[in-house]
Amino acid sequence: MRRWRRWGGSALALLAVLGLWTFWLEPASLRVVEHRLEADDWPRAIAGLRIAVLADLHVGSPWNGLDKLHRIVAETNATRPELVLLVGDYVIRNVLGGTFIPPTYIAPVLDGLDAPLGVFAVLGNHDWYYGAPRSAGALHAAGIRTLDDDAVAIDGPHGRFWLVGVSDFWEGPHDVQGALSHVTDDAPVILFTHNPDVFPHVPARVALTIAGHTHGGQVAFPFFGRPIVPSRYGQTYAIGHVVEDGRHLFVSSGIGTSIIPVRFRVPPEISVVTLEAR
C-alpha cells in the first residue's frame, strides 16, 4: 500500500510539473533561433541574406500580450535582420484563456521593427476571420506593406531579388501564379505565405518558400511526434527546412498559441533565416 502511495504521489508530482511546463513555462518563453539554409537557385552575390520570420504572433493568447510583443520587436531588431517577414495570424480567435486584442493595437507595436530592406506581411486565416480589410488596413496604417498575391522587387546592396506574398490557403485566393505574374525579370524569388499547404503549388522558379501556421504542432512527443498539425499533409510541412523535388520550404514554429494554449517541446521562437547559395 505504501509503495502504491509513493508511486501515486510521484505520478501526481510529474503531472503537476508537466502541466506547469506545457501551460505556462514553455508558452511564456521566447527564444531566437538561427537557421542557415542553402538554396540551389540563390546567387552567391546576395548570399548571406538575413531574414527574420515572425509567425503566428496570436497576440492576446495566454502569456502573449502587448508587453510580450514589445519584447519580440526588440529581440528581433537585436538580431540585425536585413528583411523582416510577418507571416500572418496576428490576432486570436477562441483560444482558451485568451483576450482578444485588435490589430489596431498590434500594428503600431510592429511598426517598431527595423530592417534596411523592409518589413512585409501576409494575412493568416485568423486575420481573415476577423476581416481581411481591417487587418490589412491596420498594418498599412503602421507603414507595413501587405503582399497578399502580390510581389515587390527589392534592390539590396549586392543585387536584386523578388519578394512574393501569397494569401492564406484556407481563407484567401492563394493565387500563386497570379502573385508570380508580377515578377518581371529573372532575378531570384523568395515567396512567403501563411499556410505551408501552398507549397506543392509553388514552382521551381522560387528559390525559397517561407510559411508558418502549423505552430510546429504546439506539442511534439518523443517517439510519437506531433499529434495535431493543421495541414492536409500531416507532419510533412510541420516545422523547419523541407526540401521536396529540389524546392525549398522553411516553416517557423511561431510564437503564440491557438485553441488550447499549450506548447511542449515546441518553444516559441523568432526565426532568423540566413539564406546561402549552394
pLDDT tens track for 132-161: 999 999 999 999 999 999 999 999 888 999
241 grid coordinates: 527546412
Q: Are 226 and 27 in contact (CB under 8 A)?
A: no
pLDDT, tens digit (0-9, with 9 covering 90-100), for 167-209: 999 999 999 999 999 999 999 999 999 999 999 999 999 999 9
51: part of which helix (H) or strand (E)? strand 49-54
pLDDT band at 247 (very low <50, low <70, confident <90, very high): very high
Render 251-272 in DSSP notation, one character per residue.
E---SS--SS---BS---EEEE
In sequence order, the 6+-apart residues with CB closer than 8 A to the CB of 199 are 209, 211, 237, 242, 244, 247, 249
What class is the 2-277 domain?
A: alpha beta
Residue ranges covered by each domain of the chain: 2-277
3-state secondary structure of 65: coil
Render 106-136 in DSSP notation, one character per residue.
HHHHHTT---TT-EEE---HHHHHHHHHHHH
pTM score: 0.94
CA atoms within 13 A on the CB side of 232: 8
| 218 vs 257: CA distance, rounded Å | 7
pLDDT, tens digit (0-9, with 9 covering 90-100), for 57-82: 999 999 999 999 999 999 999 999 99
37 grid coordinates: 539554409
